[in-house]
Amino acid sequence: MSIKSEDFVWLKFPYSPAISPDGKKLVFPVKKVNQNKNQYKSPIYLKVAGESECKQFTAGTHVDTAPQFSPSGEYLAFLSSRAEKGTQVFIMSTQGGEAFQVTEFPQGVLGYCWSHDSKLIHVIARVNEEELELVLNQKKEKVPSFVLEPAEFKAYKSRKEELKEIKTDPRVISDGYCREGTSYLDGRYTQPFIVHILEFDCENAQEIPRKIIHIGEYGFHFSLGTFSLDNRTVFIAKYAEDPTVTLEQEILEVDISDPSKKIFIGRVYGRGIENLQLSPDGKYISFHAIRKEKIVYDDSQIFLFDVKKHEVGNFVCITKNYNRSAIQSRWFNEDTLLFLSPSDGKINIHKIDINTKKTDSVVKGDRNINSFTISKNGSRIAYEVSHVSFPSDIFWCKADGSGEERVTEANKKYLTTYVPAKVEEFSFERDRVNFQGWLLVPPEYNPNEKMPVVLEIHGGPAVMWTPHEKTLWHEWNTLVSKGYAVVFCNPRGSDGYGIDFRAAIYKNWGNLPATDILEFLDVTLAKYPFLDANRVAVTGGSYGGYMTSWLVTQTNRFKAAISQRGVYEFMAFSTTTDNPVWFEKQYEGEIIDRFADIWEDSPVAHIRNLQTPLLIIHSENDFRVPVVNAEQLFWLGKRYGKTVELIRYPRDGHELSRSGEPRHIIDRINRIIDWIQKYNK
């Protein structure tokens, strides 16, 4: 049977595995569609070594995610949407039973980690000054009883909703960094806290009030840190300024008993330094940053600093000579770090010896490993895999990569009926540079019949696509089931092929990668004669949306185009995105001084050349690439009599295709197919 857009509601996505310290238990959430609410749910499942079946461990009506075993192995913590206010930290016994709520931050918790003695939790949460005071004083609003005072309770709820609206009517904005994801921050700052684990007084049957320590500094944004081995201090990263004007962060050591004591370790360059981790022997802190200072196109690398030296700038890049990205690193033992590395069309687990700097593969294969975890005793590794034959599953193996066991077959029943696309990989050379490309076709097709083509283009621009993309598995297979061949490549600017490959499009987003993509298309059409060169459509999202609109304003090669959440006019994008400093670094120089150059590289500057019917898809709460970009492209297209149409999705943001409302995800795929079928004749 053919895979359909509506099948999205049946797909399941296991992710974010966590292993108990002894390596005998494995937990992981499974993302599913809650069809009744047009939302998602993700109960946590448990796998015990030696047992064949996985068991559901938490209730299946909420979004439970980010599970972490306590270092003692007694408890499992996780983030859950079951709380009244946002996503909070919950803890339950690893033997099962009821989960109890540990945090109660007004806007929820963004991230957390355990202390080494399992008595404390470090969290980051967004608060304004009023909320910060409430958190520290643990003041709770007195709520009338729904049972005893129904009228008062109804009035209370009504007043609360009115007050919430009034607070943002009008919305007063004084910070450059004022919105992220799909929400406004409304004057809140991401702050770090220490929370003592909630105890229970069995004799008096009551909870002992938890102790909350604020270790941050209001007026600045912080990233999640890590505890010292003695649990007395926390290492955290603080943005040096407004995150919209700098990519620099300061690493600090904070005394929990006296948070005013902050030791400055040094400044590092690279947005989102939040993977600070302590080595098992407590000697080093590892983190990720950019290898070449202030070079925005550089890839993520692993840095270390000696905890006891306390020398400013005491940082060493241990992957300095590793010509690939190194991400999601975790300590395996006191001398070795494991990390993920996108490379040559696959993502595998690698290791590095911190003394010799030697790297090697640990868990490899032609697939994507999207996340992984290691048991505290170093006996097992668990990881989430996506592959052309399935969208997502959990595996685990021994520490040396041997004895791999597939833990889940989340979509086994579905895949007995629906057969995924057949994939072929090939390479080509241009300008003495090697490129990878892929072709996806129906598992059974007639090579004597011409097949229409959909050219897909990835975002980023520094992203590496493989045929094993989890979030594109359903979309690509739906297109293939409709009789289309899906083709894509990694043009220059992509990750996974070294820093020179990434840096090639520095200050040149359009022409160079466009010629790579068009060369790839020519090679593909010549290699596979059954592909119909006269029926080729093109689509892409984010930077892929930019490139889609760039191609159709530079050439007339395509019958139909669908540009999604794209950048179309650089001045508007760079001054409205939630990450403007990143784009300033892409084109080297302050935006207002680069207007002439960035205008020429903007697709809207060439709108008069558009001849391809163009569908523009955008989300109204997209703060990474605000919807004004789509409005400009659409209006100018109409102004010059072009065939253009704009689809706007309310409530969703830049992640629409990956984690948007289920109904929107399905509708989006249907509209892409309808547009292609209408014009790709």
As a whole number of angstroms, the distance between CA 439 and CA 485 comes to 7
| 641: number of Cβ within 10 Å | 9
Tell whether 641 is covered by a domain.
yes
Confidence of residue 311 (pLDDT cuts 50, 70, 90): confident
| 244: number of Cβ within 10 Å | 17
Residue 139: the pLDDT is 67
Sign of CA dihedral 149, 151, 156, 157: positive
Domain holding 530, by residue range, is 423-679
- CB contact set of 586 (below 8 Å; sequence gap of 6+): 296, 297, 506, 507, 509
pLDDT above 70 covers what percent of the chain? 97
Give the tens place of pLDDT for each residue, 322-333. 989 999 999 999
Tell whether 654 is covered by a domain.
yes
Whether 51 contacts 61, CB under 8 Å: no
Closest CA to 563 of 608, 490, 617: 617
| pLDDT above 90: residue 589 | no
| 483: number of Cβ within 10 Å | 14
Give the tens place of pLDDT for each residue, 461-491. 999 999 999 999 999 999 999 999 999 999 9
Indicate which CATH number applies to the domain containing 513.
3.40.50.1820
pLDDT above 90 covers what percent of the chain? 71
Tell whether 403 is covered by a domain.
no
User: What is the number of structural domains in the chain?
Assistant: 1
Give the tens place of pLDDT for each residue, 223-252. 999 999 999 999 999 998 888 888 888 999
Tell whether 1 is covered by a domain.
no
- CB contact set of 493 (below 8 Å; sequence gap of 6+): 460, 461, 462, 501, 502, 504, 505, 509, 512, 513
Q: How many angstroms separate the first and last alpha carbons of the chain?
A: 24
- Chain centroid to CA 635: how far? 31
Residue 358: the pLDDT is 96
Give the range among 22-36, 198-212, 262-276, 321-335 with minimum mean pLDDT.
198-212
- SS3 readout for 450-463: CEEEEEEECCCCCC
Tell whether 326 is covered by a domain.
no
Query: DSSP assignment of 514-525, as one string?
Result: HHHHHHHHHHHH
Burial of 659 by CB count in 10 Å (0-12 exposed, 13-18 middle, 19+ buried)? middle
In eight-state DSSP terms, residue 657 is: H
As a whole number of angstroms, the distance between CA 613 and CA 644 comes to 6
Tell whether 352 is covered by a domain.
no
> Which token pair is 548?
């889609």
| pLDDT above 70: residue 77 | yes
Give the tens place of pLDDT for each residue, 633-669. 999 999 999 999 999 999 999 999 999 999 999 999 9
Tell whether 29 is covered by a domain.
no
- SS3 readout for 368-380: EEEEEEECCCCCE
Please, what is the average pLDDT of the chain?
91
pTM summary value: 0.93
CA within 13 Å, CB half, 481: 18
Give me Rg for the CA atoms of the chain: 26
